Amino acid sequence: MGNSASTQKLVDANDFLFCGLQIARSTKNSLGSTVKPANEDQIAGLNSLGISLARIDFAPNGLNPPHTHPRASEILVVLDGTLKGRTMCRLDWASS
């Protein structure tokens, strides 16, 4: 976290602008889903804030493989259809 290129210039409004999440992407792959990230690599103004977001397009019965977000939260917004999910909890998280 922390992109040094962004810290070495003056910040302007374009550092907080990202166009691209409105575009649906192909889900014709083995998972039936595609992720388009929007983090500090795409939005320079997020530098060092620990904030990121993504658009995930799912085909019917598409998958989002099991994954973790250490020390982070995830919020999902479904715009069309139904998303079924499962949360897995690591019981020894406090010791790691």
Q: Taking the domains of the chain in order of start, what are their residue ranges?
A: 1-96
What is the predicted pLDDT for the residue at 90? 63
Stated as kind and residue range, the H or E segment containing 4 is helix 4-7
Return the bridge partners of 54, or none: 37
Question: What distance in Å separates the CA atoms of residue 50 and residue 39, rounded to the nearest whole number?
Answer: 9
What is the predicted pLDDT for the residue at 72? 79
In CATH, the architecture of 1-96 is Sandwich (2.60)
Nearest to 57 by CA among 27, 87, 18: 27
Do residues 36 and 20 touch, judged by C-beta distance below 8 A? yes
Per residue in 48-72, pLDDT tens? Answer: 888 888 999 999 999 988 887 777 7
